[in-house]
Homo-oligomer: A and B are copies of this chain.
Amino acid sequence: RIDGERLWSSLMEMARIGPSPMGGSRRLALSEDDVAGRRLLLAWTDALGCEWRSDQAGNLFIRRPGRDDSLAPIAVGSHLDTQPLGGRFDGVLGVLAGLEVFRTLHDQGITTERPLELIVWTNEEGSRFSPAMGGSGVYSGRLSLETFREAKDRAGISLGEALDDSGFKGSLTRRDLPLGAYLELHIEQGPVLERKGLPLGVVTGVQGLRWYDLEFVGESAHAGPTPMGFRHDPLMAATAFVEAMRETVLADPEGASRLTVGDFQVTEPSRNVIPGKVTLHVDVRHTDEDQLTVLDGQLRAHVAAAAGRESVEAQVKELWHMPVTRFDTTLVNDLSAAARAVGHEPFTMMSGAGHDAVNISYVAPTAMLFIPCRDGISHNEREYAEPEHCTIATQVMCDALLRAAER
């Protein structure tokens, strides 16, 4: 049995490092507070006799030896960095659940066949340095070390510089640190489990995502004397696109298509001037890769039609394509069996957001476990998860880890 109270008090203690004004956390990747958070974790794992190593991306690998250390370890982990006004659970729960598993095994004097590894991935949030999921990206080979290190924050400091200063830069790579399996516990960051009244969800994969910059370029002109029929209005092309794309997404009979326009910028805006240029940031997602491809085509067609309606030029730039991820069936079954063992019929679901587990799934068997978060809110100081859900999920992680570590 894991100790839910000990887990909760660790969560609350970690949250006091880089506290944010409204009771959340602010530990931007590789900032002093992020470093202090890692140091606190290492003090806890040192007390368990665990040693740690780090790779070129500063990812931490904290080892609990097994009976046969020649076997690839079973890993558990997540991230300790947060958004600027972040919560106390996003990432942290996955790491501290792993700590609680280590503590429980330590207390009970259990040694697993395979070694265990508790991992803290560097810069998952992507808030101080872009892109997100960077440390796991480098580890898995899906992001180059150069690109990872070159990213700069607003003050012009590169991730590479911050990493060199952090004391966590290592020289190891995945070759030195192979994984036998990877399990990650995370808050859902959405409303599904809460609305269904479920304490946990077994995550079978992650929906795919495509990020676009759309640019509509027309002709700036005076709002007063320019008749509607003489205009080349890029703003009305942009609104036409959003409405059309929204209808397409809502028409999905499975309700699995998602569209978000996160930004809508007018260049040199003025109250009585028809805009000359408008830029949109668009995020499209689907749980089925073929459907995501269909959405890509529909997006391009809607952009062309909208631009045509307003006689403006348009450009579609795809910035990121994260294909649909399918997690490892054996690990999903381990999590399901462990859930059943604590009395919860497993509910399987796709993750809406990307996680480090997406990158790791390309190089090792991977699966995730979700718990609800209040109102589905994350990336927010109000983010909250019930102690009871944290406890149940950590127990499930513990049991699944033990299963995998004996194989």
Contacts and interface: CB of A to CB of B under 8 A. Distances in A.
Interface of A: 188-192, 195, 207, 209, 211, 220-230, 233, 235-236, 238-240, 242-243, 246, 249-250, 255, 257-266, 269-275, 278, 281, 283, 285, 351-354, 376-380
A376 B274 CA distance: 13
- One complex includes copies of this chain to the number of 2
Given A191-B230, A352-B224, A352-B226, A271 B283 contact: yes
Contacts of A272: 211, 260, 262, 283, 353
A228 B351 CA distance: 15
Given A190-B226, A211-B271, A239-B242, A264 B278 contact: yes
A262 B223 contact: yes
A378 B233 CA distance: 16
22 contacts: A189-B222, A191-B225, A220-B380, A221-B376, A222-B352, A222-B379, A223-B260, A227-B255, A227-B258, A228-B258, A228-B259, A229-B255, A239-B243, A243-B243, A261-B275, A263-B266, A263-B269, A263-B271, A263-B275, A264-B266, A265-B266, A265-B269
A228 to B, nearest CB: 6
A388 to B, nearest CB: 21
A261 to B, nearest CB: 5
A249 B266 contact: no
Given A236-B242, A262-B271, A209 B224 contact: yes
Nearest to A380: B220
Nearest to A130: B271
A283 B233 CA distance: 14
Given A228-B250, A262-B266, 15 more contacts: A190-B224, A190-B230, A192-B225, A228-B257, A238-B239, A238-B264, A239-B239, A239-B242, A239-B261, A260-B274, A262-B273, A263-B269, A271-B281, A271-B283, A272-B353
